[in-house]
Structure 1
Amino acid sequence: MDYKIEKMTDEDWEGVAKIYLEGIKTGKATFQSEIPSYDAWNNGHVKTCRLVARKGNEVLGWGALSPTSSRCVYAGVAEVSIYIGEEYRGKGIGRTLLKALVKMSEENGFWTLQSGIIKENTASIELHKSCGFREIGIRERVAKMNNGAWHDVVLMERRSDVTGID
């Protein structure tokens, strides 16, 4: 499949939101129950580390980082969000996108990336493993969906071998 990985722009929000909603509807991609406003999403994500997979004008998937803490000692630690459009899953786009996001994170001084993945989302867990993440634990019954179902969350981490090693 012919596509490009590019920096996300404000104009990508419609495509990003559509894919985010597809993830919400799976019941295993996020505990979010609705798409946030663009301003809320924008303010909650690192400005320098946002990518989309694009074919022409269509957004096929997206990845972005969120800060994990406002404390300066954690400035190099971020949480990964990655979502692939329903019809494009299983085609290698997620791996290409996550690898590019890892590279971009290191270029921007992030030494640790982490993800909290709903345990049933085995595809995302395998994707993260294929990009150098390791499982560091499981938070049992940590959050409850709107339908009342409790879920465990697999904690994953990737430590850079080029940034934050001094």
Structure 2
Amino acid sequence: MSKITIRPMEPEDWDAVSRIYLEGIATEHATFQTTCPPYAAWDASHTKDCRLVLLVDDVIAGWTALHRVDPRWCYRGVAEVSIYVGEQFRGHGLGCHLLAELCRQAEEAGYWTLQSTVLQDNAASRALHTKCGFRLVGRRERIARDCHGRWLDTFLMERRAAADEPEGYKKL
């Protein structure tokens, strides 16, 4: 039996986190990104709270983080989810553990809406988000081109906090 642990992401985790991110990029259905940014750029674009890594037997197997969708005060409780599981760890339900913990911590931190943009070819991600309480709120048709120039749709999925005003919303 493998030991599964979820803990806050540390800057020292970046080598493993970026490797997993690059594995996601290589699938061509996890993100429109084609390169992994340096840590400083990634760090600046994600919230400082709710950054998690999932370890299997002390090896980082996945990560998740939030990105604010809008800097305006009225949207302070709305964030977009990034979640990636390493290639060798996919298909074992680890993403569900990680996303469920992110949702729990996000509510504790005061986020009232989490959203995720899922590329049309990523059925596994749509299923994961649905299993963790996200619902489909829209489909954006031909929203962007992939690295081969092919137009792709994205699905916008959303999860609302259980309470309209989660415990920590005033500190956001």
Q: TM-score, normalised by structure 2?
A: 0.93
1:27-66 pair list within 5 angstroms: 27-66=28-67
1:88-99 pair list within 5 angstroms: 88-99=89-100
Q: How many aligned positions are there? A: 166
Amino acid at match of 1:104: Q
Distance 1:122 1:45 in 2: 25
Distance 1:20 1:90 in 2: 17
Contact 2:110 2:166 in 1 (8 A): no
Distance 2:81 2:91 in 1: 19
Residue 145 (structure 1) shift: 1.3
Contact 1:61 1:83 in 2 (8 A): yes
CA deviation vs aligned residue, 1:102-134 (integer Å, no higher than 9, x gap)? 001011100000001001100000000000000
Q: TM-score, normalised by structure 1?
A: 0.97
Distance 1:149 1:87 in 2: 28
Task: Tell me the residue number matched to 1:137.
Answer: 138
Task: Tell me the residue number matched to 2:26.
Answer: 25
Contact 1:111 1:164 in 2 (8 A): yes
Distance 1:165 1:60, change over 3 A: closer
Contact 1:136 1:156 in 2 (8 A): yes
Distance 2:157 2:132 in 1: 11
Distance 1:26 1:135 in 2: 23
Unaligned residue ranges in structure 1 (runs of 5+): none
Distance 1:135 1:20 in 2: 24
Task: Tell me the residue number matched to 1:158.
Answer: 159
Distance 1:14 1:56 in 2: 17
Contact 1:110 1:163 in 2 (8 A): no
Task: Tell me the residue number matched to 1:114.
Answer: 115
Secondary structure of the residue aligned to 1:31 is coil
CA deviation vs aligned residue, 1:26-55 (integer Å, no higher than 9, x gap)? 000000000011011000001011000013
Q: State the percentage of identical aligned residues.
A: 48
CA deviation vs aligned residue, 1:121-162 (integer Å, no higher than 9, x gap)? 000000000000000010001011121111100000000113
Unaligned residue ranges in structure 2 (runs of 5+): 168-172
Amino acid at match of 1:100: E
Contact 2:20 2:84 in 1 (8 A): yes
Q: What is the RMSD of the two structures over their aligned residues, measured on CA atoms?
A: 1.3
| Comparing 63-72 and 143-152, the one that deviates more | 143-152
